[in-house]
Amino acid sequence: MSITVVGSIAYDTVTTPFGERDRMLGGAAVHFALAASFFEEVRVVGPVGEDFGEHELDVMRNRGVDVSDVERIPGGKTFFWRGKYGWDLNSRETLDTQLGVFEGFQPKLSQASLDSDVLFLANIQPDLQRDVRAQLPNARFVALDSMNLWIEAARDSLVKAIKECDCLILNDSELRQLTGKASIYAAAREILEWSPPHPRVIVAKQGEYGAALVTNEGFFSLPAFPLERVVDPTGAGDTFAGGFVGYLAAHSDQEYSEELLRQAMAHGTALASFNVEEFGTDRIEKLSGGEIVARVRQLREFTQFSAAAEPLRD
């Protein structure tokens, strides 16, 4: 099934303990699209300024991503973010944010994007997410991401947007903030019990600790893939989402069973682990499908154990 992603296309300047990169390709829609493109056709909807280069568009084109709905705004500047990571790569300091053309973003979807079977609403204003969702009433699977800003400033609108989707993908801290629950499991269960309609799949991203999946049928958790060297975690969450949603889109002939969702979690986890090995999109640009398959196989081996246990003394 084809996938449409609506979100930011950006230039990022990032400093980590392992170096610094200036104005590298970034943005939620970019990281998502590159990951999802390993599984299905992806169309990107988002704005860029006159300063955005053809080379950056070619990075997406080379992965087969359709960039026809990338809107170039005359005289505008591309969204820019500068951040710094310390040795704790789970946290970062934002040093500069320039919204540029993203500030007045009004998504414009071609008929091809409107005909997509799968929709990913990346982190944009909730009212825009709802507007785009309404334009794809027949989408088979719709997933949504958000952030603490919208939970604080536009909670009512965000809740409405979430209830119109099949899947919610948030950081664990954002799930707690949204629900006021200390446990991510309790937070996810509360959202699953919202008055209909409501999402049926909740994914909690947990950075270097992995990700958790909660549905009405059960709970599943995977650790992050163990790496000796992590260079730049920017975009890892969106890469995970691209792998997760992309895998589901590629298996549209199957019901979204617990087994299929768990396989999608594994593929999202594997792709996120590649993303952090180099700055920006560098590693994903060079990635092969065979590497993904091998890493998913390794992840399965890491997380298996025998169910047999010796009886304990009372």
Nearest Cα neighbor of 273 from 294, 304, 246 is 294
Mean pLDDT of all residues belonging to the chain: 95
pLDDT in tens, 49-80: 999 999 999 999 999 999 999 999 999 999 99
Torsion of CA 227, 232, 238, 241, to 10 degrees: 0
Give Cβ neighbours of residue 74 (< 8 Å, ≥ 6 apart).
50
CA distance 26 to 12: 6
CA distance 95 to 13: 10
Question: What is the pTM (predicted TM-score) of this model?
Answer: 0.96
CA distance 144 to 287: 26
User: Are residues 145 and 86 in contact, defined by beta-carbon separation less than 8 angstroms?
Assistant: no
- Give the Cβ contact number of residue 282 at 10 Å: 17
Domains along the chain? 3-302 (3.40.1190.20)
According to DSSP, the residues that pair with 43 across neighbouring strands are 4, 66
Average of pLDDT values for 154-180?
97
Average of pLDDT values for 266-283?
98
Q: Give the pLDDT of residue 90.
A: 82
Q: Which residue has the tokens 């599984």?
A: 39
